[in-house]
Amino acid sequence: MYSAIYIEKQLLSHPRVETLLARFSNLPLITIDRYGEIFNRKAQNFRLQKRAPALIIAGKQKNHVLPTPEQYGLGGKHNYYFSHLLNCIYDCRYCFLQGMYRSAHYVWFANYEDFAQAVMEKIEQHRGETCYFYSGYDCDSLALEPVTQFVDYFLPLFSGQLNAVLELRTKSTQVRTLLDRSPMENCVVAFSFTPENIARKLEHKVPSNQKRLEAMKKLQQRGWKVGLRFDPLIYADDYRANYQRLFESVFSQIQAGSLHSVSLGVFRLPEPYYRTMQRLYPGEQLFAVKLANSNGMVSYQAEIEKRLVDDCQSLLLEHIPEKIYYPCFMQ
Amino acid sequence: MLNIVVALSEEARPFIQYYRLKRLHHRHAFPVYGNDNIQLIVSGVGNLRAAVATGYLAGIRDSGRTTAWLNAGIAGCKSLPVGETVLAHKIIDTVSRQVFYPAICFDPPCKTGNIRTVPIPEIQYPCDNVYDMEAAGFFSAAMRFGTLELIHCLKIVSDNEASPIHRVSSSGVVHLVEQQMEVIAAIAAVLLDMAAALDRDSKGDEEIEWISSRFHCTVAQQAQLRMLIQNWFALTDASPLAMLELGALKNTAAVLNALRIQINEIPVAY
């Protein structure tokens, strides 16, 4: 699963870490001072590292909870994200993490208590108002659950905080921890999808759409709030047919009436990330189509983007009520 | 392309035989051997010599980021048996206290471990790491030329507490390396494969050269050409470009324009 485990010396005797180390005792264990020594080095190749990433166990020192970027959210006023992991076990060609990080190793921040304290401080700061906390911004929220036990720790934290909503965003089918628990009013499990033909080309090592739908159905049947994220929308000449098929497949299996939220977001990348990703994957069709730079963000040309968004929006709204629809782009 | 740095001619000999390397006859500051995709340099003992030889080897043939680097040789260790191979996952320069972490992105065919690079042969083995005299110098120099995933140090234990360093003979060194050539070759093959994977991506060299031989191309135009040709290959599943048609155009600007038009007409489908 991992090529090696790097661990910050200060965490060698952390109880949460000791359990994990016992489980992976056959892997090389390499002690380091700070995770940046490995993760932030120059002259690394994300693509080569993705062949056999290592797990870096670290402690996050500051900025445990941060405001989300604009347009990232579900209509709430106070939107924050926190990342117990950096990087993802999946290998989606459109994912901005490839452009943001120099390394493909997974960084796991084991000091959950510090994250919990920062979350509680934000809730206290906005007392009486609803705060949204997104955990799947720099990683997949559930994919490494058997290793990180993130959900096990954080769900009890949120269960008593009805003004705080936790979103778990995932492409994973690791939902057993959730199914073993009673559903929570203030936790949304959001699954992201792209059309099957595109997923096959761009989403490597990811469970198929059907497997994701099955996991989602199980959660919905158990009373968990689930959401759909069609983000990023990917352009192809036959995009209309692609998305029509996808929506029909999804909404024939998922009860639209009890969905928490559905969002759409078009493929876009900050310009420096785009350049890095294009250098990493020069043979990738996604980066070879005609794209445009607008205010430092690279996306489809305005006319294509408008058509793609408008059409997908109309197709989507045939299946869901507008009140649960949240576009993730400038309207 | 794989560049190999060894300290001793005895360490080099099994490589020369295994890979059928030929001595490069023009005058060199270090003995250098090579074939089509491997170069080997004999650096001499010590950190500084290893670093200098690494830089020297990089300069002989254009060592882009797609070149792999391997430092191989004998080393001492308190407890590991003689003949054991260890791939470095951490290299500590005991003089400068610098620490390097090679990125092992493949399933290694041998143990991995810490290597401590010392200025004089270590006979006490104060901790249970592998002791050598070149890894840190080699690694710090190779990092200037290559990407971390393609730079590795492999050490073969030649001495330990039970079999001290003074018993290591010239023929013994040759024998130790020979015995581990399969492990070494397995690592070399993975490195060459990873380097080739990166190399395969840099398409368009022939086309750019062909166009540059016909028209004046500025550096900026060459960069645009590379981008457009890469996009063409990405969108057409590497179909060949109609070079003769492009060659019949007036200048590089016209070629760039024609390429843009052609690329925009390619259907986008998944």
Cα separation values, B240 from A81, A125, A134, A183, A207, Å? 47, 61, 46, 56, 35
Enclosing domain of residue A160: 5-328
ipTM score assigned to the predicted complex:
0.91
Nearest CA to B133 among B270, B16, B11?
B11
Q: What is the DSSP letter of A96?
A: T
Contact A110, A58 (CB under 8 A): yes
b/e per residue A195-221 (b: at least 16 CB within 10 A): bbbbbebbbeebbebeebbebbebbbe
* B89–A289 CB contact, under 8 Å: no
CB-based contact, B103 to chain A, within 8 Å: yes
Q: Give A330's pLDDT tier (boundaries 50, 70, 90).
A: low
Asked if pLDDT for residue B202 goes beyond 90, the answer is no
Quick one: tokens of A236? 């192809």
**What are the chain A neighbours of B238 within 8 Å (beta carbons)?**
283
Q: What is residue A160's predicted lDDT score, i.e. its pLDDT?
A: 86
Q: What is the structure's pLDDT at B152?
A: 98
Cα separation of A50 and A7, whole Å?
Answer: 19
CA distance A274 to chain B (A): 13
Which CATH number goes with the domain that contains A160? 3.80.30.30
Out of B103, B235, B267, name the one closest to residue A44 (CB). B103
Domain count, chain A: 1
pLDDT of residue B28: 82
In Å, how far is B205's CA from the nearest CA of chain A?
Answer: 13
Q: Which residues on adjacent β-strands are paired with residue A192?
A: A229
Cα-based torsion angle of the residue sequence B41, B46, B52, B54 in order, rounded to the nearest 10 degrees: 40
Res. A324: pLDDT tops 70:
yes
Kindly state the percentage of chain B with pLDDT values over 70: 100
Total-model pTM: 0.93
Option in B149, B234, B264 nearest A49 (CB) = B149
Q: How confident is the model at residue B237 (pLDDT cuts 50, 70, 90)?
A: confident
DSSP string computed for B92-110: EETTT--EE-----S--SS
Contacts of residue A109, Cβ cutoff 8 Å, sequence gap at least 6: A58, A59, A60, A83, A84, A85, A115
Give the per-residue pLDDT at B238: 85
A227-245: per-residue pLDDT in tens? 999 999 999 999 999 999 9
For B73-101, write each residue's pLDDT tens digit.
Answer: 999 999 999 999 999 999 999 999 999 99
> Which pLDDT score, from 0 to 100, does residue B247 have?
85
| Average pLDDT estimate for B233-245 | 88
Closest Cβ–Cβ partner in A30, A41, A195 for B89: A30
Question: Which residues of chain B are within 8 Å of residue A44 when distances are taken between CB atoms?
Answer: 103, 147-149
Q: Across chain B, what does the average pLDDT equal?
A: 94
Distance between CA atoms of A46 and A135, rounded to whole angstroms?
Answer: 23
